[in-house]
């Protein structure tokens, strides 16, 4: 195949044609698993990050290799975190509670303040709504009493 025709093929098609597709996808997955950035992964193939992003968006196999690499790191890390928790590691326990325990275990004062303000606002709205409803009921009772006279 001539050079001009080869340039028209996208990189994945070139890899398929040369029989390098599976090996290169495994390299992408491995680099992703190592925590490499898209820019670093692209550099391994002498392409730009933008080019790699286009390949990822166009070809599910590239996206899948990137994602599965990241997912394996997350799974390994979560497993190690659980091991540390089971060993009684206080730092791991605190971290897990903050990450998985919800708002109760957060020490983010700003978030807690927002929740408290939201609660107060809802309480005021409920009080106003109740007062408004009470006024309507009182007017209704007054109207009924007026009709009875």
Instruction: Kindly list the domain boundaries of the chain, sorted by start residue.
Output: 3-78, 108-149
Phi and psi, residue 87, nearest 5°: -80, -5
User: How does DSSP classify residue 48?
Assistant: -
Asked if residues 51 and 85 have their Cβ atoms less than 8 Å apart, the reply is: no
Looking at residue 144, what is its pLDDT? 74
User: How does DSSP classify residue 105?
Assistant: G
CA distance 65 to 80: 23
Rg of the chain in Å (alpha carbons): 30
User: Running along the chain, 149 residues long, what does each successive block of 10 average in pLDDT?
Assistant: 55 92 94 93 94 93 93 90 93 86 65 75 76 73 73
CA distance 43 to 131: 66
Closest CA to 51 of 14, 10, 79, 21: 10
Looking at residue 5, what is its pLDDT? 45
Looking at residue 40, what is its pLDDT? 96
CA distance 122 to 129: 10
Tokens, residue 76: 């390994």
pTM listed for this prediction: 0.54
């Amino acid at each position: 195949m001539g050079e001009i025709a080869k340039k028209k093929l996208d990189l994945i098609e070139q890899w398929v044609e040369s029989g390098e597709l599976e090996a290169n996808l495994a390299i992408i997955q491995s680099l992703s698993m190592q925590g490499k950035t898209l820019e670093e992964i692209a550099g391994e193939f002498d392409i730009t990050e933008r080019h790699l992003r286009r390949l990822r968006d166009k070809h599910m196999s590239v996206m899948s290799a990137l994602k599965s690499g990241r997912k394996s790191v997350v799974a390994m890390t979560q497993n190690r975190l659980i091991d540390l928790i089971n060993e009684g590691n206080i730092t791991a326990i605190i971290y897990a509670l903050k990450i998985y325990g919800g708002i109760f275990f957060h020490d983010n004062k700003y978030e807690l303040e927002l929740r408290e303000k939201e609660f107060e606002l809802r309480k005021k709205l409920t009080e106003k709504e109740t007062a408004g409803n009470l006024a309507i009921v009182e007017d209704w009772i007054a109207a009924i009493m007026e009709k009875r006279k």
